[in-house]
Amino acid sequence: MVEILTAEEFEMMKASGKILQEVFKTLEKSIKPGMSTYDVDKIVHDIITGHGAVPSFLNYGNPPFPGSICASVNEEVVHGIPSHKRILKDGDIISVDVGAILNGYHSDACRTYLVGDVKQEVKDLVERTKQSFFEGLKYAKAGMRTGDIGHAVQEYCEGFGYGVVRELTGHGIGTSLHQDPEVLNYGKAGHGYKLKAGMAICIEPMITLGKRYIEQLSDGWTIVTRDGLPAAHYENTILITEDGPVMTTFEEDV
């Protein structure tokens, strides 16, 4: 089902997204070597619940996800489980994917943070993964198609020789966390679902330094690159308006 939201509902989506802006502004200053991924989860959980919102990921799925964030370090692509035992080291990267529900409206976004001094090729991967989101965002307009977005992301990333993960995708969002349409990070321009004003979508490139192939760990959640090379992830919730895309989760002044 594709949900078409009213102007009032768009305002609700913006209020929900604003909480994630605060999350990212806080994490940008907080993430340091020596912290555990549980510590990061706790910071985010407290911000979300402090606003009277609910962390969308907590208890989501089967087995129920045990954190408020997905904390995916280095070769972990997505869905890493926060843990007291996973301590961030100098040179790591960590993707923090987070969702919030406020008054029934969801927002979903991700940033990949550098921990201390990170190798240049990994820094480039993180920066270009973010830029690939913005390449896709150019097509997040009424009348364009999801394939236009995927094509733009894929072309940009493969130009650097990176892998574009295909098994996991962006999605529609609104009164549920994941809904139609799928927003693939690869594809053909002019193909896919035609976007309409009133929709809300998440574009979320998951990009690898090596090959694009992934596998799931035995915890039932964590997805890693098969070749063990690092991966980065970047995501925002986007409203499709008559006047173009509006990101609800993008923190302007970081």
- Applying CB under 5 A, the residues found at the interface with Mg ion are 108, 202, 204
Nearest 5°: phi and psi at 137? -60, -30
Contacts of 46 (CB under 8 A, 6+ apart): none
Q: State which residue, 73 or 202, has the beta carbon closest to Mg ion.
A: 202
Q: At what angle do helices 120-137 and 146-158 cross, to 10 degrees?
A: 160
Q: State which residue, 81 or 118, has the beta carbon closest to Mg ion.
A: 81
Secondary structure class of 218 (helix, strand, coil): coil
Residues 26, 47 contacting (CB under 8 angstroms): yes
Minimum Å gap between C-beta 116 and Mg ion is: 27
Q: State which residue, 78 or 229, has the beta carbon closest to Mg ion.
A: 78
Q: State which residue, 118 or 239, has the beta carbon closest to Mg ion.
A: 239
How far apart (Å, rounded) are the C-alpha atoms in residues 206 and 169? 8
Q: State which residue, 88 or 200, has the beta carbon closest to Mg ion.
A: 200
Minimum Å gap between C-beta 96 and Mg ion is: 12
How far apart (Å, rounded) are the C-alpha atoms in residues 174 and 179? 8
Q: Quick one: which of 217, 230, 211, 202 has its CA closest to 140?
A: 202
Give how far the C-alpha of residue 207 lies from the chain's centroid of Cα atoms, to the nearest Å.
11
How far apart (Å, rounded) are the C-alpha atoms in residues 60 and 54? 12
Minimum Å gap between C-beta 61 and Mg ion is: 13
Minimum Å gap between C-beta 100 and Mg ion is: 12
Contacts of 178 (CB under 8 A, 6+ apart): 171, 172
Minimum Å gap between C-beta 110 and Mg ion is: 7
Minimum Å gap between C-beta 78 and Mg ion is: 9
Q: State which residue, 118 or 205, has the beta carbon closest to Mg ion.
A: 205
